[in-house]
Amino acid sequence: MKAPFCFISRVVGLFVLSTSFSSVASINLPSSPSNISEQRTLFQQVELSLESGSNTLYQQHKETLDEYPLAGHLEYLFLKNRLSHISQQDIDTFVADNPRLPQSSRIQYKWLGWLARKQRWQAYLQAYNRLEKQPGVRYQCLQGRALLATGNQSAAWQRAQNLWLVGKSQNKACDPLFHQWKKAGQLTQSLASQRFWLAVANGKTSLARYIDRSITQPFYKDDTQLFWRVYRNPALLKKASLLDGTQAKHRQIMVYGVKRQIPHNHDKALDLWLTLRDKHPFAPDVRGNLDKRLALRFAKRFTEHAEEQIARIDPEYKYTDVTKWRVRLALEQQDWESVKRNIQQLPEAEQQHASWSYWQEVANIKLSPSSLLVPPEKEVSGTLDRLRQERSFYGFLVADLTGKPFQLNHQSARHSQAELNQLMARHNGFARIKEWLALDRMVQVQSELNRIKPRLTVQERRLLPYLAHQLGWHHQAIMAAAREAMWNDLDVRFPSPQEHLFSHYAQKRGIDYSWVVSIARQESAFNPAAHSHAGARGLMQLIPSTARQAARQKQIPFKKASELYKPETNIALGTAHLEWLTRQFEDNRVFATAAYNAGGSAVRRWLRARGHLPLDVWIETIPYDETRRYVKNVLAFRVIYSLREQGEATMFSPDESMRLALTPAEKTLIASYP
């Protein structure tokens, strides 16, 4: 699960860097480590004082901390405490003195908010015009109110109209502006209609109902009423006389009606769509999106006659994603002729992808009697040999099947310490990043980097993963390496932070260390502050309810969700959950890995439906795209970590290996290829 940075208390941070800083002592900074340490302690004391509303300690020690990298943050807090006593000139001076400091933007927005609360609208406009880029909707709404209050009515109405014409609800700060705009008669029937259809396109039917109250003219109301009729009863689309396909709004109603029908009866929805699709001039992207939505609905549910229904939608194999699922449907049936035929319908570049190359060769082997395998041996062995050279799930799988060595393809870093020092010196934000890391303050760390990244040269961007790695900021090192397509430096991409904790709890739970680390690598890229949209937190991305269950089972102290940002708590609970899943799925690491991502209920449902399949086929036919990628990544990562940590690895356990698509005889045969 991918996770953005979240705000957490400074006590709970990304890294405890007591060891990290010894590794970066060679990076030159203005002060000695001991002086930096003393300044850091004083900084924390002054900061707490400022945050409590007292400026005294700051004024006493301001000069002492002037050279400390985070001095600008203290000045920001000082200004924030004194908004009623400062002027625009004070704000401008701070911004001019600290042009690269994230707090420069923050103080501008704090100032704007204060001016709006005090209804100092002329000053608000002056401050608004100082911003480097257009701010968020709240501040745009306040600008519209400021324009109206200062007599610039036409500009205020234009701002209101622009903010109105979106397919979602706007910030509450817009309400007073919209009220005045409507009161002045600026909300026309045309504008109301436009927003109605924007809301419909965005799936916001509650907003559409609200907007529809403003629509009274029959020219517009007839279409909205027709939409609601079809919304309540999609079967009305069968009436040919009800809708005029030459009208864009009517085509939009048709599409929406078909989508409404899909969850209730996808066979009827398909029949309806094909009738409409072939009769009316839908835009290619609209047609394609609904085609794919229906096709994937059949495929991912493995519905009866799924292939036949998909063939009606896409007889010419136009949609690559759909074709991939036609391969998976054939795999689920173990129809090897169809597997080959469907793979050959993929674009040439896709056919060369490891997954489809692997299944093409498995199909070839399955379709050829053993006695006939000798003539094409060179061709088959050549493909398999190419595959096993790859550092990927299928590359490792082929190596495991053929008894050949795994290929990591590691390339060591090509940079000097001098280059990293120069990067630090050129962008003083990195000195602040180093200090924020020491304080476990990841919101500030990310804000600093966000300001630096646009100014990095191509070469500096390629140095960033190494600098982040050296600073102990492993999450950023991994992500930066991916952005720069630097796939082969495994030192950067597969570090082992918190190794002692992972090792301790893996041993305590009786589960494989490399597997546990691989889960964390996939879940958060070693970001202890990670927080997903689903509420999962920390290194191993635990949802609080799952954490509470694990805590009860193992009698681990756990009181609140914020504790999941502590590495030891997170790893203790995450490994406990993995141990439980391992027992639930009878020591099958594949099923337990899938359950860690998708939940045990989903995996048990898939096993009831397709548990008879060979294990590699089962993995390839996991219905959730995220979980299928997740399982492949974790299994591949486990090989990488096992080789790097222990010098040896296997892809699957003996029991798991026995459940693969190729029989022991077929494995013996391909293992004999040169």
Q: How many domains does one find in the chain? A: 1
pLDDT in tens, 211-252: 999 999 999 999 999 999 999 999 999 998 899 999 999 999
pLDDT in tens, 617-642: 999 999 999 999 999 999 999 999 99
Percent of the chain's residues with pLDDT above 70:
93
In the three-class reduction of DSSP (H, G, I as helix; E, B as strand; rest coil), residue 67 is classed as coil
The residues annotated with a catalytic role in the active site are: 523
Give pLDDT, residue 379: 56
Residue 88 lies in a domain: no
Residue 560 lies in a domain: yes
Give pLDDT, residue 413: 82
Is residue 372 over pLDDT 50?
no
Residue 307 lies in a domain: no
Determine the average pLDDT of the residues in 270-289.
96
pLDDT in tens, 374-425: 544 455 568 899 999 999 999 999 999 988 999 999 998 889 999 999 999 9
Is residue 30 over pLDDT 90?
no
Q: What would the two tokens of residue 593 be?
A: 């890995």
Give pLDDT, residue 157: 98
Q: Which amino acid is located at 89 in the chain?
A: Q
Tokens 């974790």 -> residue: 634
Residue 432 lies in a domain: no
User: Rounded to an integer, what distance in angstroms lies between the CA atom of residue 178 and that of residue 180?
Assistant: 6
**Range(s) of the domain holding residue 632:** 499-671
Residue 604: CATH number of its domain: 1.10.530.10
In the three-class reduction of DSSP (H, G, I as helix; E, B as strand; rest coil), residue 185 is classed as coil
Give pLDDT, residue 71: 97
pLDDT-derived band of residue 27, with 50, 70 and 90 as boundaries? very low
150: closest CA among 178, 123, 112? 123
Residue 608 lies in a domain: yes
pTM for the whole thing?
0.90
User: Which range has the worst mean pLDDT, 533-537, 565-569, 663-667?
Assistant: 663-667
Residue 196 lies in a domain: no
Residue 576, CB-side half-sphere exposure with 13 Å CA sphere: 20
Residue 385 lies in a domain: no
User: Which range has the worst mean pLDDT, 32-41, 126-135, 451-460?
Assistant: 32-41
Q: What is the mean pLDDT of the chain?
A: 92
97 Cβ contact list (under 8 Å, min separation 6): none
Q: What would the two tokens of residue 551 be?
A: 């805590």
Is residue 262 over pLDDT 70?
yes
Give pLDDT, residue 370: 54
Residue 352, CB-side half-sphere exposure with 13 Å CA sphere: 4
E-assigned strand segments in 100-251: none
pLDDT-derived band of residue 4, with 50, 70 and 90 as boundaries? very low
| DSSP summary character for residue 368 | S
Is residue 523 over pLDDT 70?
yes
Is residue 573 over pLDDT 90?
yes
Give pLDDT, residue 382: 84
Give pLDDT, residue 22: 33
Q: What is the 3-state secondary structure (H, E, C) of 321-346?
A: HHHHHHHHHHHHCCCHHHHHHHHCCC
Q: What would the two tokens of residue 166 be?
A: 């979106």
Q: What would the two tokens of residue 673 be?
A: 């290829």
Give pLDDT, residue 668: 86
pLDDT in tens, 297-350: 999 999 999 999 999 999 999 999 999 999 999 999 999 999 999 999 999 999
Is residue 14 over pLDDT 80?
no
Spell out a b/e string for 18-48, using b for 16 or more CB atoms within 10 Å of the CB, else e: eebbeebeebebeeeeeebeebeeebeebbe
Residue 213 lies in a domain: no
Is residue 98 over pLDDT 50?
yes
Helix (H) or strand (E) holding 222: helix 218-232
Tokens 């100014």 -> residue: 455
| DSSP summary character for residue 83 | G
